[in-house]
Amino acid sequence: VICSSIDDLATQLNHDCVYMVAPNSPQEIVSAMENIVNYPAKAKETGEKGRQFAINKFCIDSYIDGLILFLKI
């Protein structure tokens, strides 16, 4: 995933699971795309870490745990 560092996304995402680029920076997007093409093993690793992050963060169990924690407060 190539992600623009808008708002608080940079603090929410681990930089090892996305290619973070500055907002409105086409050259950084090109650079990230070149890195993906030129370093496929690194791109695969980054993609796998991103997938695992998404599973952990957005699965139903994560929502339930957060809701339970919220209701206990």
Cβ contacts of residue 31 below 8 Å, gap of 6+? 21
**Tens digit of each residue's pLDDT (9 = 90 or more) over 20-35:** 999 999 999 999 999 9
Contact call for residues 18 and 32 (beta carbons, < 8 A): no
Q: Is the dihedral of CA 24, 27, 32, 36 positive or negative?
A: positive
Taking phi over 0 as left and psi of -120 to 50 as alpha, with beta for the rest, 56 belongs to alpha
The predicted pLDDT at position 29 comes to 95
What is the pTM assigned to this prediction? Answer: 0.72
For residue 17 the two structure tokens come to 């699971």
